[in-house]
Protein backbone atom coordinates (compact mmCIF):
# COMPACT_ATOMS: atom_id res chain seq x y z
CA UNK A 1 0.00 0.00 0.00
CA UNK A 2 2.82 2.41 0.91
CA UNK A 3 4.45 1.87 -2.44
CA UNK A 4 1.12 2.38 -4.25
CA UNK A 5 0.69 5.73 -2.48
CA UNK A 6 4.19 6.73 -3.58
CA UNK A 7 3.48 6.13 -7.29
CA UNK A 8 1.67 9.46 -7.97
CA UNK A 9 4.48 11.30 -6.23
CA UNK A 10 7.08 9.47 -8.31
CA UNK A 11 5.06 10.19 -11.46
CA UNK A 12 4.94 13.89 -10.60
CA UNK A 13 8.65 13.84 -9.88
CA UNK A 14 9.29 12.13 -13.22
CA UNK A 15 7.22 14.71 -15.08
CA UNK A 16 9.00 17.54 -13.27
CA UNK A 17 12.34 15.93 -14.06
CA UNK A 18 11.49 15.73 -17.78
CA UNK A 19 10.36 19.37 -17.73
CA UNK A 20 13.63 20.43 -16.14
CA UNK A 21 15.58 18.37 -18.66
CA UNK A 22 13.67 19.98 -21.53
CA UNK A 23 14.38 23.44 -20.11
CA UNK A 24 18.07 22.60 -19.80
CA UNK A 25 18.21 21.27 -23.37
CA UNK A 26 16.45 24.38 -24.62
CA UNK A 27 18.77 26.67 -22.71
CA UNK A 28 21.83 24.83 -23.99
CA UNK A 29 20.45 24.99 -27.54
CA UNK A 30 19.98 28.72 -27.36
CA UNK A 31 23.35 29.14 -25.67
CA UNK A 32 24.91 27.51 -28.74
CA UNK A 33 22.67 29.54 -31.03
CA UNK A 34 23.95 32.82 -29.60
CA UNK A 35 27.40 31.66 -28.59
CA UNK A 36 28.94 34.91 -29.73
CA UNK A 37 26.52 37.12 -27.79
CA UNK A 38 27.95 39.90 -25.64
CA UNK A 39 27.13 38.94 -22.06
CA UNK A 40 28.27 42.21 -20.47
CA UNK A 41 24.72 43.05 -19.34
CA UNK A 42 23.71 45.08 -16.37
CA UNK A 43 23.11 42.80 -13.39
CA UNK A 44 19.48 43.82 -13.04
CA UNK A 45 18.69 43.13 -16.71
CA UNK A 46 17.89 39.60 -17.99
CA UNK A 47 20.34 38.29 -20.56
CA UNK A 48 19.56 38.00 -24.25
CA UNK A 49 19.77 34.19 -24.01
CA UNK A 50 17.36 33.94 -21.09
CA UNK A 51 14.85 36.16 -22.88
CA UNK A 52 15.06 33.95 -25.97
CA UNK A 53 14.40 30.88 -23.86
CA UNK A 54 11.51 32.66 -22.16
CA UNK A 55 9.99 33.43 -25.58
CA UNK A 56 10.07 29.71 -26.38
CA UNK A 57 8.15 28.66 -23.28
CA UNK A 58 5.37 26.23 -24.22
CA UNK A 59 6.08 26.50 -27.95
CA UNK A 60 7.09 22.85 -28.38
CA UNK A 61 3.82 21.68 -26.84
CA UNK A 62 1.77 24.02 -29.04
CA UNK A 63 3.59 22.80 -32.15
CA UNK A 64 3.01 19.23 -31.04
CA UNK A 65 -0.74 19.89 -30.88
CA UNK A 66 -0.57 21.51 -34.33
CA UNK A 67 1.20 18.43 -35.75
CA UNK A 68 -1.54 16.18 -34.34
CA UNK A 69 -4.22 18.41 -35.87
CA UNK A 70 -2.46 18.21 -39.24
CA UNK A 71 -2.53 14.39 -39.09
CA UNK A 72 -6.23 14.38 -38.22
CA UNK A 73 -6.91 16.69 -41.18
CA UNK A 74 -4.76 14.52 -43.49
CA UNK A 75 -2.23 17.36 -43.97
CA UNK A 76 0.71 14.96 -43.72
CA UNK A 77 3.32 17.20 -45.37
CA UNK A 78 2.39 20.01 -42.97
CA UNK A 79 2.62 17.59 -40.04
CA UNK A 80 6.16 16.65 -41.05
CA UNK A 81 7.13 20.30 -41.46
CA UNK A 82 5.76 21.04 -37.99
CA UNK A 83 7.72 18.16 -36.50
CA UNK A 84 10.88 19.53 -38.09
CA UNK A 85 10.13 22.86 -36.43
CA UNK A 86 9.88 21.03 -33.12
CA UNK A 87 13.31 19.47 -33.73
CA UNK A 88 14.75 22.92 -34.43
CA UNK A 89 13.72 23.81 -30.87
CA UNK A 90 14.25 20.43 -29.20
CA UNK A 91 16.50 18.12 -31.27
CA UNK A 92 15.85 15.03 -29.13
CA UNK A 93 12.05 15.31 -29.02
CA UNK A 94 11.03 11.65 -29.22
CA UNK A 95 7.52 12.21 -30.59
CA UNK A 96 8.75 14.37 -33.46
CA UNK A 97 11.62 11.98 -34.22
CA UNK A 98 9.25 9.05 -34.29
CA UNK A 99 6.80 10.87 -36.55
CA UNK A 100 9.64 11.54 -39.00
CA UNK A 101 10.73 7.89 -38.76
CA UNK A 102 13.99 8.40 -36.92
CA UNK A 103 15.53 5.77 -34.68
CA UNK A 104 18.17 6.29 -32.04
CA UNK A 105 21.15 4.06 -32.71
CA UNK A 106 24.25 4.28 -30.54
CA UNK A 107 23.31 7.80 -29.54
CA UNK A 108 22.68 9.02 -33.11
CA UNK A 109 19.29 9.72 -34.69
CA UNK A 110 19.07 7.96 -38.08
CA UNK A 111 16.12 8.44 -40.41
CA UNK A 112 14.67 5.37 -42.10
CA UNK A 113 15.91 4.88 -45.66
CA UNK A 114 12.33 4.21 -46.70
CA UNK A 115 11.11 7.62 -45.53
CA UNK A 116 9.42 9.63 -48.28
CA UNK A 117 8.08 13.13 -47.97
CA UNK A 118 4.27 12.84 -47.71
CA UNK A 119 1.61 15.02 -49.31
CA UNK A 120 -1.24 17.13 -48.01
CA UNK A 121 -4.44 15.32 -49.00
CA UNK A 122 -7.06 17.87 -47.89
CA UNK A 123 -6.39 21.08 -49.80
CA UNK A 124 -9.51 22.67 -48.29
CA UNK A 125 -7.85 22.61 -44.85
CA UNK A 126 -4.80 24.63 -45.90
CA UNK A 127 -6.37 27.99 -45.11
CA UNK A 128 -7.15 26.93 -41.56
CA UNK A 129 -3.62 25.50 -41.32
CA UNK A 130 -2.11 28.90 -42.02
CA UNK A 131 -4.39 30.50 -39.44
CA UNK A 132 -3.43 27.95 -36.78
CA UNK A 133 0.25 28.15 -37.69
CA UNK A 134 0.10 31.94 -37.49
CA UNK A 135 -1.35 31.73 -33.99
CA UNK A 136 1.40 29.36 -32.88
CA UNK A 137 4.46 30.87 -34.58
CA UNK A 138 3.43 34.45 -35.32
CA UNK A 139 3.79 35.66 -31.74
CA UNK A 140 7.11 33.79 -31.40
CA UNK A 141 8.52 35.45 -34.51
CA UNK A 142 7.32 38.87 -33.35
CA UNK A 143 8.89 38.37 -29.94
CA UNK A 144 12.27 37.40 -31.37
CA UNK A 145 12.24 40.45 -33.64
CA UNK A 146 11.46 42.60 -30.60
CA UNK A 147 14.33 41.06 -28.63
CA UNK A 148 16.79 41.63 -31.47
CA UNK A 149 15.79 45.29 -31.50
CA UNK A 150 15.80 45.58 -27.70
CA UNK A 151 19.26 44.03 -27.34
CA UNK A 152 20.80 45.67 -30.42
CA UNK A 153 23.50 47.32 -28.30
CA UNK A 154 24.20 44.35 -26.03
CA UNK A 155 23.91 41.20 -28.11
CA UNK A 156 26.51 40.86 -30.84
CA UNK A 157 25.71 41.11 -34.53
CA UNK A 158 26.54 37.44 -34.88
CA UNK A 159 24.18 36.48 -32.04
CA UNK A 160 21.26 38.39 -33.54
CA UNK A 161 22.05 36.99 -36.99
CA UNK A 162 21.91 33.46 -35.60
CA UNK A 163 18.53 34.17 -34.08
CA UNK A 164 17.27 35.21 -37.51
CA UNK A 165 18.79 32.08 -39.05
CA UNK A 166 16.93 30.05 -36.42
CA UNK A 167 13.69 31.78 -37.44
CA UNK A 168 14.45 31.07 -41.09
CA UNK A 169 14.75 27.35 -40.38
CA UNK A 170 11.41 27.56 -38.60
CA UNK A 171 9.73 29.71 -41.26
CA UNK A 172 11.61 29.26 -44.56
CA UNK A 173 8.98 31.06 -46.65
CA UNK A 174 8.36 33.98 -44.30
CA UNK A 175 8.93 37.24 -46.20
CA UNK A 176 9.62 39.28 -43.05
CA UNK A 177 12.35 36.90 -41.90
CA UNK A 178 13.86 36.77 -45.39
CA UNK A 179 13.82 40.55 -45.61
CA UNK A 180 15.57 40.87 -42.24
CA UNK A 181 18.28 38.57 -43.61
CA UNK A 182 18.72 40.71 -46.72
CA UNK A 183 16.85 38.48 -49.16
CA UNK A 184 14.00 38.93 -51.63
CA UNK A 185 12.29 36.89 -54.34
CA UNK A 186 13.47 36.82 -57.92
CA UNK A 187 11.66 34.65 -60.46
CA UNK A 188 10.00 32.76 -57.63
CA UNK A 189 13.24 32.03 -55.75
CA UNK A 190 14.71 33.63 -52.65
CA UNK A 191 17.99 35.38 -53.48
CA UNK A 192 20.28 37.88 -51.78
CA UNK A 193 19.33 41.51 -52.25
CA UNK A 194 22.79 42.12 -53.71
CA UNK A 195 22.08 39.43 -56.32
CA UNK A 196 19.01 41.32 -57.53
CA UNK A 197 20.96 44.57 -57.61
CA UNK A 198 23.96 43.03 -59.39
CA UNK A 199 21.91 41.35 -62.11
CA UNK A 200 20.16 44.61 -62.89
CA UNK A 201 23.33 46.71 -62.63
CA UNK A 202 25.40 44.30 -64.72
CA UNK A 203 23.14 44.92 -67.70
CA UNK A 204 23.79 48.68 -67.48
CA UNK A 205 27.58 48.62 -67.08
CA UNK A 206 28.47 47.90 -70.75
CA UNK A 207 26.35 50.86 -71.90
CA UNK A 208 27.99 53.04 -69.26
CA UNK A 209 31.45 51.99 -70.47
CA UNK A 210 30.61 52.79 -74.08
CA UNK A 211 29.19 56.17 -73.08
CA UNK A 212 32.27 57.07 -71.03
CA UNK A 213 34.57 56.24 -73.94
CA UNK A 214 32.42 57.94 -76.57
CA UNK A 215 32.09 61.24 -74.69
CA UNK A 216 35.70 61.50 -73.52
CA UNK A 217 37.48 64.50 -75.13
CA UNK A 218 40.33 63.92 -77.58
CA UNK A 219 42.29 66.95 -76.36
CA UNK A 220 44.42 68.99 -78.73
CA UNK A 221 47.92 68.80 -80.18
CA UNK A 222 50.61 70.66 -78.28
CA UNK A 223 54.34 71.25 -78.40
CA UNK A 224 56.88 69.31 -76.31
CA UNK A 225 57.53 70.78 -72.87
CA UNK A 226 60.96 71.15 -71.35
CA UNK A 227 61.06 67.58 -69.99
CA UNK A 228 59.94 66.08 -73.30
CA UNK A 229 62.61 68.04 -75.17
CA UNK A 230 65.25 66.90 -72.70
CA UNK A 231 64.34 63.26 -73.27
CA UNK A 232 65.33 63.70 -76.94
CA UNK A 233 62.82 61.15 -78.18
CA UNK A 234 61.01 61.45 -81.49
CA UNK A 235 57.46 62.31 -80.43
CA UNK A 236 54.99 61.56 -83.20
CA UNK A 237 52.15 63.20 -81.29
CA UNK A 238 51.57 65.02 -78.00
CA UNK A 239 48.03 65.82 -76.87
CA UNK A 240 46.68 67.37 -73.72
CA UNK A 241 43.53 68.28 -71.80
CA UNK A 242 43.26 70.16 -68.49
CA UNK A 243 43.68 66.84 -66.65
CA UNK A 244 45.92 64.66 -68.81
CA UNK A 245 48.88 64.83 -71.17
CA UNK A 246 49.82 61.94 -73.49
CA UNK A 247 52.94 61.76 -75.66
CA UNK A 248 53.88 58.88 -77.93
CA UNK A 249 56.58 57.76 -80.32
CA UNK A 250 54.36 55.37 -82.28
CA UNK A 251 51.27 56.03 -84.37
CA UNK A 252 49.62 59.41 -83.68
CA UNK A 253 46.19 57.76 -83.47
CA UNK A 254 47.43 55.67 -80.52
CA UNK A 255 47.95 58.86 -78.56
CA UNK A 256 44.35 59.88 -79.25
CA UNK A 257 43.07 56.42 -78.24
CA UNK A 258 45.03 56.32 -74.99
CA UNK A 259 44.04 59.86 -74.05
CA UNK A 260 40.32 59.27 -74.68
CA UNK A 261 40.35 55.85 -73.03
CA UNK A 262 42.12 56.95 -69.87
CA UNK A 263 39.83 59.98 -69.53
CA UNK A 264 36.91 57.60 -70.09
CA UNK A 265 38.34 55.37 -67.35
CA UNK A 266 38.20 58.31 -64.98
CA UNK A 267 34.53 58.92 -65.71
CA UNK A 268 33.82 55.19 -65.48
CA UNK A 269 35.51 55.11 -62.05
CA UNK A 270 33.52 58.10 -60.82
CA UNK A 271 30.22 56.74 -62.11
CA UNK A 272 30.52 53.23 -60.68
CA UNK A 273 31.97 54.24 -57.32
CA UNK A 274 30.01 57.45 -56.86
CA UNK A 275 33.02 59.72 -56.37
CA UNK A 276 34.22 63.01 -57.84
CA UNK A 277 37.85 61.92 -58.18
CA UNK A 278 39.99 63.68 -60.78
CA UNK A 279 43.40 62.56 -62.05
CA UNK A 280 46.35 63.90 -60.05
CA UNK A 281 47.84 67.25 -61.03
CA UNK A 282 50.41 66.88 -63.78
CA UNK A 283 49.20 63.45 -64.84
CA UNK A 284 51.09 62.38 -67.98
CA UNK A 285 51.45 59.14 -69.94
CA UNK A 286 54.43 58.42 -72.19
CA UNK A 287 54.00 55.73 -74.86
CA UNK A 288 57.24 54.14 -76.05
CA UNK A 289 57.45 51.38 -78.62
CA UNK A 290 60.76 49.57 -78.02
CA UNK A 291 63.47 48.81 -75.48
CA UNK A 292 65.87 51.37 -76.92
CA UNK A 293 63.40 54.18 -76.27
CA UNK A 294 62.84 52.78 -72.77
CA UNK A 295 66.56 52.94 -71.96
CA UNK A 296 66.85 56.45 -73.36
CA UNK A 297 63.80 57.60 -71.38
CA UNK A 298 65.24 56.24 -68.13
CA UNK A 299 68.75 57.53 -68.86
CA UNK A 300 67.59 61.10 -69.51
CA UNK A 301 64.68 61.52 -67.08
CA UNK A 302 65.86 63.79 -64.24
CA UNK A 303 63.76 61.99 -61.59
CA UNK A 304 65.20 58.53 -62.32
CA UNK A 305 68.03 57.95 -59.84
CA UNK A 306 70.84 55.42 -60.34
CA UNK A 307 69.59 53.54 -57.24
CA UNK A 308 66.27 52.60 -58.86
CA UNK A 309 67.27 52.71 -62.53
CA UNK A 310 67.78 48.94 -62.85
CA UNK A 311 64.53 48.15 -61.04
CA UNK A 312 62.46 50.45 -63.26
CA UNK A 313 63.97 48.95 -66.39
CA UNK A 314 62.93 45.46 -65.26
CA UNK A 315 59.26 46.46 -65.17
CA UNK A 316 56.72 46.23 -67.99
CA UNK A 317 55.76 49.84 -67.29
CA UNK A 318 56.60 52.28 -64.55
CA UNK A 319 55.42 55.26 -62.61
CA UNK A 320 58.24 57.76 -62.31
CA UNK A 321 59.10 58.38 -58.62
CA UNK A 322 58.08 61.77 -57.26
CA UNK A 323 55.85 62.60 -60.25
CA UNK A 324 52.39 61.91 -61.66
CA UNK A 325 53.97 60.48 -64.81
CA UNK A 326 53.82 56.92 -66.10
CA UNK A 327 55.72 55.35 -68.98
CA UNK A 328 54.46 52.44 -71.08
CA UNK A 329 57.17 50.67 -73.06
CA UNK A 330 55.70 47.35 -74.09
CA UNK A 331 56.15 46.62 -77.79
CA UNK A 332 52.47 45.57 -77.86
CA UNK A 333 50.01 48.43 -78.43
CA UNK A 334 47.14 46.59 -76.69
CA UNK A 335 49.26 46.10 -73.57
CA UNK A 336 50.23 49.77 -73.57
CA UNK A 337 46.55 50.72 -73.59
CA UNK A 338 45.65 48.20 -70.88
CA UNK A 339 48.45 49.39 -68.62
CA UNK A 340 47.59 53.03 -69.19
CA UNK A 341 44.05 52.35 -68.01
CA UNK A 342 45.18 50.25 -65.02
CA UNK A 343 47.61 52.89 -63.86
CA UNK A 344 45.00 55.61 -64.30
CA UNK A 345 42.63 53.63 -62.10
CA UNK A 346 45.44 52.96 -59.65
CA UNK A 347 46.20 56.66 -59.36
CA UNK A 348 42.55 57.40 -58.68
CA UNK A 349 42.38 54.60 -56.10
CA UNK A 350 45.30 56.20 -54.26
CA UNK A 351 43.87 59.69 -54.54
CA UNK A 352 40.28 58.87 -53.53
CA UNK A 353 40.67 55.97 -51.08
CA UNK A 354 44.39 55.88 -50.21
CA UNK A 355 44.35 52.32 -51.61
CA UNK A 356 47.84 51.22 -52.65
CA UNK A 357 49.66 47.95 -53.31
CA UNK A 358 49.64 47.28 -49.56
CA UNK A 359 45.89 46.62 -49.89
CA UNK A 360 46.55 44.01 -52.56
CA UNK A 361 43.01 42.65 -52.90
CA UNK A 362 41.57 46.10 -53.63
CA UNK A 363 44.45 47.24 -55.83
CA UNK A 364 44.28 44.13 -58.01
CA UNK A 365 40.58 43.32 -57.73
CA UNK A 366 39.12 46.75 -58.42
CA UNK A 367 41.82 47.63 -60.95
CA UNK A 368 41.38 44.47 -63.03
CA UNK A 369 37.58 44.56 -62.77
CA UNK A 370 37.20 48.17 -63.95
CA UNK A 371 39.77 47.77 -66.73
CA UNK A 372 38.06 44.67 -68.08
CA UNK A 373 34.57 46.16 -67.93
CA UNK A 374 35.80 49.26 -69.77
CA UNK A 375 38.05 47.86 -72.53
CA UNK A 376 37.75 44.07 -72.28
CA UNK A 377 41.37 43.24 -71.36
CA UNK A 378 43.08 42.07 -68.14
CA UNK A 379 46.75 42.23 -69.13
CA UNK A 380 48.17 44.21 -66.21
CA UNK A 381 48.70 42.64 -62.80
CA UNK A 382 51.01 43.13 -59.85
CA UNK A 383 50.65 39.80 -58.05
CA UNK A 384 53.60 37.42 -58.03
CA UNK A 385 54.17 34.87 -60.74
CA UNK A 386 54.64 31.11 -60.56
CA UNK A 387 58.43 31.17 -60.49
CA UNK A 388 58.29 32.60 -56.96
CA UNK A 389 56.30 29.62 -55.64
CA UNK A 390 58.61 27.01 -54.11
CA UNK A 391 56.14 24.13 -53.63
CA UNK A 392 55.92 22.27 -56.95
CA UNK A 393 52.31 21.11 -56.44
CA UNK A 394 51.19 24.64 -55.64
CA UNK A 395 53.18 26.03 -58.56
CA UNK A 396 51.54 23.58 -60.95
CA UNK A 397 48.09 24.56 -59.66
CA UNK A 398 48.92 28.25 -60.10
CA UNK A 399 50.10 27.67 -63.67
CA UNK A 400 46.98 25.70 -64.51
CA UNK A 401 44.76 28.45 -63.11
CA UNK A 402 46.76 31.15 -64.92
CA UNK A 403 46.33 29.28 -68.20
CA UNK A 404 42.57 29.05 -67.71
CA UNK A 405 42.16 32.67 -66.60
CA UNK A 406 44.17 34.10 -69.47
CA UNK A 407 42.83 31.90 -72.22
CA UNK A 408 40.94 33.68 -74.98
CA UNK A 409 37.37 34.63 -74.02
CA UNK A 410 37.82 33.41 -70.43
CA UNK A 411 35.00 34.43 -68.08
CA UNK A 412 36.51 34.90 -64.62
CA UNK A 413 33.13 34.52 -62.94
CA UNK A 414 32.77 31.07 -64.51
CA UNK A 415 36.39 30.21 -63.77
CA UNK A 416 35.85 31.07 -60.10
CA UNK A 417 32.72 28.91 -59.93
CA UNK A 418 34.62 25.99 -61.46
CA UNK A 419 37.88 26.39 -59.56
CA UNK A 420 36.31 26.97 -56.15
CA UNK A 421 33.58 24.36 -56.58
CA UNK A 422 35.67 21.76 -54.73
CA UNK A 423 38.06 23.97 -52.76
CA UNK A 424 37.67 26.80 -50.29
CA UNK A 425 38.31 30.33 -51.64
CA UNK A 426 40.92 32.41 -49.82
CA UNK A 427 39.43 33.60 -46.53
CA UNK A 428 38.75 37.31 -46.65
CA UNK A 429 40.28 37.89 -43.24
CA UNK A 430 43.64 36.66 -44.61
CA UNK A 431 43.28 37.93 -48.18
CA UNK A 432 42.62 41.46 -46.98
CA UNK A 433 45.83 41.44 -44.96
CA UNK A 434 48.12 40.60 -47.90
CA UNK A 435 50.22 43.03 -49.88
CA UNK A 436 50.05 42.65 -53.62
CA UNK A 437 53.43 40.91 -53.93
CA UNK A 438 52.31 38.25 -51.42
CA UNK A 439 49.26 37.27 -53.48
CA UNK A 440 49.00 34.28 -55.80
CA UNK A 441 46.71 33.42 -58.70
CA UNK A 442 43.88 32.23 -56.45
CA UNK A 443 44.10 35.48 -54.53
CA UNK A 444 44.00 37.45 -57.78
CA UNK A 445 40.91 35.62 -58.98
CA UNK A 446 39.07 35.91 -55.65
CA UNK A 447 39.99 39.61 -55.36
CA UNK A 448 38.41 40.17 -58.76
CA UNK A 449 35.24 38.36 -57.64
CA UNK A 450 35.13 40.34 -54.39
CA UNK A 451 35.52 43.62 -56.29
CA UNK A 452 32.71 42.64 -58.68
CA UNK A 453 30.53 41.74 -55.69
CA UNK A 454 31.11 45.14 -54.07
CA UNK A 455 30.74 47.26 -57.21
CA UNK A 456 27.81 45.39 -58.72
CA UNK A 457 25.96 44.27 -55.61
CA UNK A 458 26.61 47.07 -53.12
CA UNK A 459 26.84 50.30 -55.19
CA UNK A 460 26.14 52.53 -52.17
CA UNK A 461 28.59 50.75 -49.86
CA UNK A 462 31.58 49.91 -52.07
CA UNK A 463 33.15 53.38 -51.78
CA UNK A 464 32.64 53.74 -47.98
CA UNK A 465 34.16 50.30 -47.51
CA UNK A 466 37.19 51.14 -49.65
CA UNK A 467 37.54 54.43 -47.79
CA UNK A 468 37.61 52.64 -44.44
CA UNK A 469 40.17 50.10 -45.71
CA UNK A 470 42.36 52.90 -47.11
CA UNK A 471 42.20 54.69 -43.76
CA UNK A 472 43.62 51.60 -42.07
CA UNK A 473 40.42 50.46 -40.36
CA UNK A 474 40.60 46.73 -39.58
CA UNK A 475 38.55 44.75 -42.13
CA UNK A 476 36.33 43.24 -39.42
CA UNK A 477 35.56 46.68 -37.99
CA UNK A 478 35.05 48.18 -41.46
CA UNK A 479 32.62 45.39 -42.36
CA UNK A 480 30.54 45.86 -39.22
CA UNK A 481 30.49 49.61 -39.70
CA UNK A 482 29.62 49.68 -43.42
CA UNK A 483 27.58 46.50 -43.95
CA UNK A 484 26.20 45.94 -40.46
CA UNK A 485 27.44 42.36 -40.41
CA UNK A 486 30.51 40.35 -39.49
CA UNK A 487 33.17 39.76 -42.14
CA UNK A 488 32.55 36.02 -41.98
CA UNK A 489 28.89 36.57 -42.81
CA UNK A 490 29.79 38.85 -45.73
CA UNK A 491 32.10 36.10 -46.96
CA UNK A 492 29.26 33.56 -46.85
CA UNK A 493 27.08 35.93 -48.85
CA UNK A 494 29.88 36.50 -51.38
CA UNK A 495 30.18 32.75 -52.02
CA UNK A 496 26.41 32.41 -52.36
CA UNK A 497 26.26 35.49 -54.62
CA UNK A 498 28.81 34.02 -57.01
CA UNK A 499 26.49 31.09 -57.65
CA UNK A 500 23.28 33.14 -57.74
CA UNK A 501 24.35 36.03 -59.95
CA UNK A 502 24.62 34.00 -63.15
Q: How far apart are CA 54 and CA 59, in angstroms?
A: 10
Q: How would residue 199 be classed by pLDDT, with cut points 50, 70 and 90?
A: very high
- Beta-strand relationship, 284-287 and 245-248: parallel
Q: How far apart are CA 372 and CA 370, in angstroms?
A: 5
**Per this entry, what is the length of the chain?**
502
Give 465-470's long-range contacts (Cβ < 8 A, gap of 24+). Answer: 466/273, 466/349, 466/352, 466/353, 466/355, 466/362, 466/366, 467/352, 467/353, 469/353, 469/355, 469/359, 469/362, 469/432, 470/353, 470/354, 470/355, 470/359, 470/362
The pLDDT of 213-242, averaged and rounded, is: 97
Q: How would residue 21 be classed by pLDDT, with cut points 50, 70 and 90?
A: very low
The pLDDT of 24-29, averaged and rounded, is: 48
Q: How would residue 205 be classed by pLDDT, with cut points 50, 70 and 90?
A: very high
Residue 14 to residues 10, 20, 21, 22, 253: CA-CA distances in angstroms? 6, 10, 10, 12, 92
Question: Does residue 236 contact residue 288 with C-beta atoms inside 8 Å?
Answer: no
Task: Please state which of the ranges 201-205, 304-308, 343-347, 387-391 shows the lowest mean pLDDT.
Answer: 387-391
The pLDDT of 19-27, averaged and rounded, is: 46
Task: Please state which of the ranges 2-6, 131-135, 172-176, 389-393 shows the lowest mean pLDDT.
Answer: 2-6
% of the chain surpassing 70 pLDDT: 89
Q: How would residue 29 be classed by pLDDT, with cut points 50, 70 and 90?
A: low
pLDDT at 393 > cutoff 70: no
- Which residues lie across from 186 on neighbouring strands? 189
Q: How far apart are CA 161 and CA 179, in angstroms?
A: 12
Q: How far apart are CA 331 and CA 328, in angstroms?
A: 9
For 132-200, strand residue ranges (E) read 183-186, 189-192
pLDDT at 227 > cutoff 50: yes
Residue 77 to residues 89, 100, 122, 189: CA-CA distances in angstroms? 19, 11, 11, 21
User: What interhelical angle do 333-353 and 252-273 show, nearest 10?
Assistant: 30
pLDDT for res 384: 65
Per-residue pLDDT tens over the stretch 333-367: 999 999 999 999 999 999 999 999 999 999 999 99
pLDDT for res 337: 98
- Which residues lie across from 306 on neighbouring strands? none
The pLDDT of 418-442, averaged and rounded, is: 94
The pLDDT of 383-400, averaged and rounded, is: 68
- Closest of 463, 426, 424, 430 to residue 444, by C-alpha: 426
Q: How would residue 43 be classed by pLDDT, with cut points 50, 70 and 90?
A: low
Per-residue pLDDT tens over the stretch 102-122: 999 999 999 999 999 999 999
Q: How far apart are CA 152 and CA 159, in angstroms?
A: 10
Give the CA-trace dihedral at 486, 492, 493, 496, to 10 degrees.
Answer: 180
pLDDT at 485 > cutoff 70: yes
pLDDT for res 135: 93
Residue 287 to residues 194, 264, 329, 377, 402: CA-CA distances in angstroms? 40, 18, 6, 18, 27
The pLDDT of 478-487, averaged and rounded, is: 96
In sequence order, which residues have a C-beta less than 8 Å from that of residue 241 and are 6 or more positions away?
217, 219, 220, 259, 263
The pLDDT of 395-403, averaged and rounded, is: 88
pLDDT at 22 > cutoff 60: no
pLDDT at 466 > cutoff 70: yes
Q: Phi then psi for 426, rounded to 5 degrees?
A: -55, 135
Taken in order of first residue, the domains within the chain and their CATH numbers are 7-105+114-181 (no CATH), 216-351 (3.40.30.160), 354-502 (no CATH)
Q: How far apart are CA 267 and CA 277, in angstroms?
A: 9
Q: How would residue 394 be classed by pLDDT, with cut points 50, 70 and 90?
A: confident
Per-residue pLDDT tens over the stretch 155-192: 999 999 999 999 999 999 999 999 999 999 999 999 99
Over the range 135-174, which residues count as b (16 or more CB within 10 Å of their CB) and which as e?
Answer: ebbeebbeebbebbeebeebbbbbbbbbbbebbbebbeee
Round the CA-based radius of gyration of the chain to a whole number and report it. 31
Give 473-477's long-range contacts (Cβ < 8 A, gap of 24+). Answer: 475/428, 475/429, 475/432, 475/433, 476/429
pLDDT for res 409: 87
pLDDT for res 4: 42
Q: How would residue 24 be classed by pLDDT, with cut points 50, 70 and 90?
A: very low
Question: Does residue 454 contact residue 464 with C-beta atoms inside 8 Å?
Answer: no
Q: What is the pTM of this model?
A: 0.86
pLDDT for res 396: 85
**Burial class of residue 60, CB neighbours in 10 A (0-12, 13-18, 19+):** buried
pLDDT at 7 > cutoff 60: no
The H-assigned helical ranges of 287-437 are 291-300, 306-313, 333-353, 360-375, 392-405, 412-419, 428-431
Neighbours of 255 (CB within 10 A): 24
Q: How far apart are CA 168 and CA 188, in angstroms?
A: 17
Q: What mean pLDDT is reported for the chain?
A: 90
Task: Please state which of the ranges 7-16, 68-77, 160-169 shows the lowest mean pLDDT.
Answer: 7-16
pLDDT for res 316: 87
pLDDT for res 392: 64
Q: How would residue 397 be classed by pLDDT, with cut points 50, 70 and 90?
A: confident
Task: Please state which of the ranges 41-45, 67-71, 489-493 shows the lowest mean pLDDT.
Answer: 41-45
Per-residue pLDDT tens over the stretch 449-460: 999 999 999 999
pLDDT for res 42: 47
Per-residue pLDDT tens over the stretch 114-144: 999 999 999 999 999 999 999 999 999 999 9
C-alpha 258 chain-centroid distance: 32
Amino acid sequence: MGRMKDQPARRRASIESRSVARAIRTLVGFAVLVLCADFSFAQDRPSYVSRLVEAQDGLVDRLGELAKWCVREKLFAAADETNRQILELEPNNEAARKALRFRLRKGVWIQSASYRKPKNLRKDALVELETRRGHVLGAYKTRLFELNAEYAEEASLQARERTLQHLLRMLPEDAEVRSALGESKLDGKWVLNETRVALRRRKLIPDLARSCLATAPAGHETEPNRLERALELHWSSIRKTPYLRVAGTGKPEEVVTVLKTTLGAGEFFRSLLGTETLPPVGFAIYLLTNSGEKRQFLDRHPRVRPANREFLESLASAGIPGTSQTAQWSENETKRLDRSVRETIGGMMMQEFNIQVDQGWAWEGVGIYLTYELIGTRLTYYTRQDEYVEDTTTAALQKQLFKRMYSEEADWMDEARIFFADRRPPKLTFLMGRKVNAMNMQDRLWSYIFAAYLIEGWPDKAAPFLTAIGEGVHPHVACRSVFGMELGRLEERLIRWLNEAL
